[in-house]
Structure 1
């Protein structure tokens, strides 16, 4: 597995192959599988994302009662013309809410890269596929890009909120989604890696402070932030905007920031929103059920 985006970019240039193919070849080598097997397995994950989106149940609530139905509320607002955002952003918001709620309701989702951040990549990818009529083969290639970026982040930093705060979960997911979005829009390798960097930069320091220790509040709505952030970072990169701090150094900074975060805001449920008066009341109420 590659330890830097720069290394992936160099291999891509040296071999004259696209970013996604570098990751495909690495996966085949590391797991000793054929390209066909690798593609089959990754496509199964993408299909699972589609199925999870389609299987959203607006009537289902999480056990705590804090999560459920907001995806439908937002859908209804879009249909009635009440939203400010355009169709791409609105669709991404809706899908991120639905996926995050499905996770909280214990439905089948794809951890991308974690369950708590499961709504970001599918919200961006499914939206772009629908809005731009992109075929599944190209979506599969974008999945390799997301996995490649995620692999580098895992190597240089971490993906778990308990280790580095929510920046490690939503931040990583947003970085992965941004990179893939650039590819789907026709961007080159340079734009791909800078989109990943800018998406991560925007979420550095994000606390992991789940109310009552559940992956519900504020996690579900942060999936929305991650998806919208990914699209904005992708558009900046496509426009030629570049990160002043090199992409790999951005990931190193995420690691440094994560290590510096107090334990209270690293998935312990002791700080941030979890420590508010209301957050504490919710936690106490659930304990007495």
Structure 2
């Protein structure tokens, strides 16, 4: 059974057995949980359907969050894409729209899959759903790619962190982008080594990103960072599939992310005491939501 202590462990096992990382993770989890592989797959399929529903709800319902700070942007983005006016093209444009949609569903207290967290919940679903739809991929393959994402996510969680409160947004949106990049790479026929490079590139692209939620809510700037994160995942996967390698191995990149997170001051780790949350507008939004200034004592 895997210890999920390194990406290299997953890659080496896949190479040795001539299998995809997703296949190995599925089998490993079935053994660990003492269940049939079909049962584990069906649970992941249910997660996939929840992801799909969250995306659909966010693209159909023009609602705003309880705070009034966010809502409706997914529909705006989708309209631009459908009109053929997206600068990024249809694939990235649809992925951005879906990432916003799932994140807005979360902000509006809808049902989402925290993969790896609620704050980064739009990245993985948007990546997999969009690639599967735009490239007419089999749903089974899309679901299986989530096991690849899960394998990488477990390594990151063990070696570093997936929590903004511990490692900043690099640990949330960064981890989600890395997981999604690995999943996309496998979905497009990439090798386990390519998936590892995609993971590395995605984290490097977002290394050092702070967690500074305005008013302490997972809305500003979190939702738009999900859109940026899914774009990062596609870019990283595309480069890896082209044969572009990360000069720094995935495990070392993850370790670097851990050290960067440890070096961050607490004001930049989900406390809403620094970054965008501490700007004049950020403070004004806090007062608008809670009726008092953020630095007032309760």
TM-score (norm 2): 0.95
How far did 1:11 drift? 1.2
SS in 1 for 2:206: coil
Counterpart mapping for 1:80-159 below 5 A = 80-159=83-162
CA contact (8 A) 1:58 1:70 kept: no
| C-alpha distance in structure 1 between counterparts of 2:19 and 2:47, whole Å | 24
| C-alpha distance in structure 2 between counterparts of 1:59 and 1:21, whole Å | 39
Which deviations, in whole Å up to 9, do the C-alpha atoms of 1:197-239 show, x marking residues without a partner? Answer: 1001100100000000000000000000100000000000001
Aligned to 1:283: 286
Q: Which runs of 5+ in 2 are unaligned?
A: 293-298
| C-alpha distance in structure 1 between counterparts of 2:156 and 2:267, whole Å | 23
SS in 2 for 1:55: helix
Aligned residue pairs total: 289
1:178 to 2:181 alignment:
yes
How far did 1:113 drift? 0.4
Which deviations, in whole Å up to 9, do the C-alpha atoms of 1:98-120 show, x marking residues without a partner? Answer: 11111111101111100000000
Aligned to 1:248: 251
| C-alpha distance in structure 2 between counterparts of 1:169 and 1:288, whole Å | 29
1:12 to 2:11 alignment:
no
Q: CA RMSD in A?
A: 1.1
SS in 2 for 1:187: coil
| C-alpha distance in structure 2 between counterparts of 1:224 and 1:284, whole Å | 27
| C-alpha distance in structure 2 between counterparts of 1:18 and 1:99, whole Å | 28
TM-score (norm 1): 0.98
CA contact (8 A) 2:214 2:277 kept: yes
Aligned to 2:295: none
Aligned to 2:47: 45
Which deviations, in whole Å up to 9, do the C-alpha atoms of 1:155-190 show, x marking residues without a partner? Answer: 100111001000000000000000010111111111
| C-alpha distance in structure 2 between counterparts of 1:273 and 1:70, whole Å | 20
How far did 1:10 drift? 1.2
Aligned to 2:28: 26
Aligned to 1:191: 194
1:239 to 2:242 alignment:
yes
SS in 2 for 1:202: helix
Which deviations, in whole Å up to 9, do the C-alpha atoms of 1:67-118 show, x marking residues without a partner? Answer: 1000111112222333211111111011011111111111011111000000
Q: Which consecutive aligned stretches of 4+ in structure 1 deviate over 4 angstroms post-superposition? A: none
- Pick which of 242-251 and 19-28 moved more: 19-28
How far did 1:15 drift? 2.1
CA contact (8 A) 1:174 1:199 kept: yes
CA contact (8 A) 1:49 1:109 kept: yes
